[in-house]
Structure 1
Amino acid sequence: MSLDQNKIAEDLAQALRAIESASDLDGLKQVKIDYVGDKSPLAKANQALATVDQSLRAQFGKLVGAARAEVNQAFEQRSAKLSALRDSQMLLTEKVDVTLPGRRNLKGGLHPLTILTNEINDLFIGLGYKVAEGPELEAEWLNFDALNIPADHPARTMQDTFFVEPLESKLVLRTHTSPVQIRTMLNEKPPIYVICPGKTYRADELDATHTPVFHQVEGLVVDENITMGDLKGTLDFFAKSIFGDQVKTRLRPSFFPFTEPSAEVDVFFNGRWIEWGGCGMVNHKVLDACGVDTKKYSGFAFGMGLERTLMVKHGITDMHDIVEGDVRFSQSFGVGKK
């Protein structure tokens, strides 16, 4: 490449025109490649200085250097101007109206079942009871045998119980929270006053009134001179605290292996009798299995499903609403609203 003063001046003028005509930063980037970068005419002229006669090299070197410096200065000035223009446009198009109300996220909240559980716990703590909990994966002996449920009882079959493999482990997903009562009697001496809330499992299909994973609350009292009258009075107080002073309760004779005598608890609520749970005096065989002196102590126990209690109290007709996690269900209880 031969160097010529006119050609250098022409390349300089062309680069300056291109820089000035760039209307935005993206266009200016292409101008930099074409007229400022290593492949631009002035960059190639600078590379050609090595071929110029030694006597003319200094002269052409100053010329090319001055031209490149002028192009770089023009580029920086245009870049600063276009950047400022872009920023001012962004301020106009992306401005924030600080007078608008802020976006508020929904507040978190407890599920209605948890609220009910806490309400029941607080109720019985006020009566002097303790809240007892136990593992959901339970020993078969604690879930069945200690509760006087024989090996041939239907509840122990695969149709009703989730057994954990290997079957030789004798482990089940607890079918009720009664094992917590057994653990309490094994570890504590009477008098015993406990309430046992928790999650339980049975091999049921999910439908409007059943779910394979549900919650129970059970109560146990073991003390001297405990009678069915104490049980009835406790259940009356429990029902009125949950459903209101207008509710009535009744006991219907029934059978449970772990209580004798046994009864079903019904509540008269919203104009009809509704089955609420089971109860009875703790069977002497259960007390004996736990090492409780049956000559000195007696006791009562009761158990209710929390989902059923929630459905009765609030007129819920479909179990799906409780278990499927739709936030609109919780919001209907005033939970999680803005």
Structure 2
Amino acid sequence: MNSNIIPDGIWPVMITPIKQNGDVDYDALKKLIKWYEASGVHGFFANCLSSEMYELNRKERIELTEFVVKHSSIPVLSTGTFYDNTEENVDFIKELSDIGVDGVVLITSILAKEEDSDEVLLERIMEIVDHTTGIPLGLYECPVPYKRLLSSEAIGKLASTGRFVYMKDTSCNADVVVSKINAANGSNLKIFNAHTPDCLHSIRHYGAGISPIGANFYPELYTYLWNNGRGEILNEEVIRVKDFLVKNDGIVHHKYPVSAKYFLSLRGLPISEDTRKSIEKLEDEDKKQIENLYDNFLALSRNVGISEFAISE
């Protein structure tokens, strides 16, 4: 464990390459890690929804996380709550901590049922806090099994424990994100926006960074926004990058994560479209749309001076 503070910036929700036989493709994952790092991202959220965490068994979740920690030069977070009782979750969180992750993330919709009150959710989170002394924790408003949002009041209470370092907000509401940023102000808890359409708004209102699925397509566009979008004046290039990301957000989400895997293959990464998720295969029209997106990404990158990163051998 490095420290109780994680860096601000871009934290991709990592894709997991899968072989045709269904195994995790660790050779491809190693190249993917180095490619992400070359694009300037600041940390990794491994073993998350984009990583196909629900399609992995316990052993695979540990092995995947351990591999990312071993081969990364930047901090790593991993999801630690997959069970409906505190004891099992605590055991798994401790196992992840022993691997050397920089924080273990709690899924809000696993810890409470849809009909449970916020008080029940906070009580269960605090049970984990009490039984995982010294382990930095995160919060994830994962939309599966259902989306359970945290109120700004709850954020303030959890931030005051000093144990939380990361939160992935999925409210898709710019004002809500800013209210959570304000609630966590002055604490170790950093708010990361998952929603591309208002990601620039959140980082300009002192958000700690972004954790969007689009960073699995072109992370350098997000690092460009992070590096250039927080000044008093927004230049024309920043606006163009932001508009490109917003305009193409629908393509990114369509048949995701297969769409991301195909896009990454166009970028030269040895990643197949294979997935364990129940996602429809890409049709020819889907592939054509993604190929057009890739061409448009290259044109934008040239126009604003963003270099495409070589694939590490």
Q: What range is the shorter-chain TM-score in?
A: under 0.3
Q: TM-score, normalised by structure 1?
A: 0.23
Of structures 1 and 2, the one with the larger relative CO (CA 8 A, separation 6+) is 2
Larger radius of gyration: 1
Q: TM-score, normalised by structure 2?
A: 0.25
Q: Point out the structure with the larger strand share.
A: 1
